[in-house]
Amino acid sequence: MSIHIIDDEAVISEILSSALSEHSKSIRCFQSAEAYLTHMQSTHYREPRLIITDVVMNGISGFELVKHIRNNRIKARIIVMSGFFHDPHSYNPTELGIDAILCKPFNMDELQTIVSNMIATGS
């Protein structure tokens, strides 16, 4: 399973990449939504099975990135993460085009559970 991580904080991307290494040998990290969109347009782009993106980033936000991804008919599962969700249950993931919301700070067990469930359901 390939995983793409988009976060403007390199340390967060590194932590997530390390934590998810048991699920995938193919993890790519991107420092911005713009960098990811550029990669999507390249001939080297291969649709991942899972995309994890921060919501609040300089430039294009994670929610805007999700719109671009879905408009390009990318079917990857998407997890968004942010420290700014006051009540994550007030958001409708389906309407946002995402599969899960992680509220920062979150523990790695929570992330592992979500990813394991996604793998188990074959989605």
Model pLDDT for residues 15-50, shown as the tens digit of each residue: 999 999 998 999 999 999 999 999 999 999 999 999
Query: What does the pLDDT read at residue 119?
Result: 79
Q: How far is CA 57 from CA 33, 34, 64, 122, in A?
A: 8, 10, 11, 30
Q: What is the pTM of this model?
A: 0.91
Tokens of 3: 């995983």
Cα–Cα nearest to 33, from 1, 56, 15, 50: 56
- pLDDT of the chain, 123 residues: tens digit per residue: 899 999 999 999 999 999 999 989 999 999 999 999 999 999 999 999 999 999 999 999 999 999 999 999 999 999 999 887 666 566 677 788 899 988 888 889 999 999 998 878 765
Query: What does the pLDDT read at residue 95?
Result: 82
Q: Mind listing the domains of the chain with CATH numbers?
A: 2-120 (3.40.50.2300)
In the block, which residue shows the tokens 């979150």? 106
Rounded distance between C-alpha atoms, residue 39 and residue 30, angstroms: 9
Query: What does the pLDDT read at residue 3?
Result: 95
Query: What does the pLDDT read at residue 123?
Result: 53
Cis-peptide, bond into residue 105, ω within 30° of zero: yes
